[in-house]
Copies of this chain bind each other. A is one copy, B any other.
Amino acid sequence: MNKNLLTLADCAPSSTAEPMARAKAEDISALLKAVADPTRLQILALIAKADLQESCACDLTGPLGLSQPTISHHLKKLAEVELVEKQRRGTWIWYSLNKTRWSQIAQLFA
């Protein structure tokens, strides 16, 4: 996933050649699906604006008006594609953005 979508298309020799490999399309799709949810976009924005750019899950339920398991579910989805990272400090688990992964998405559309 080191080339963007448009240049990826150039890998094939002609306009009637094979399409982008399905497996690669599914990889990119999985990453984008994780971001393409309104609640997860709000979660990412909340983390980004928090002090030290990290939040614990319990700080997200209130502003978003969602149950704790629902927030946990979304954070798991974001962690699965490595868009957020978790770090346990005592009772709390702190979530932060993986900016490398973030900019990889930007590269896809550059």
Contacts and interface: CB of A to CB of B under 8 A. Distances in A.
Given A5-B48, A45-B8, A38 B22 contact: yes
Q: Is the interface on chain A under 10, 10 to 19, 20 to 34, or 35 or more residues?
A: 35 or more
Nearest to A18: B63
Contacts of A41: 5, 20, 25, 28-29
* Assembly stoichiometry (copies): 2
A55 B39 CA distance: 35
Interface in A4-43: 5-6, 8-10, 12, 15-20, 22, 25-26, 28-29, 32-33, 35-39, 41-42
Nearest to A110: B106
A3 to B, nearest CB: 11
A22 B110 CA distance: 27
Interface in A79-104: 97, 102-103
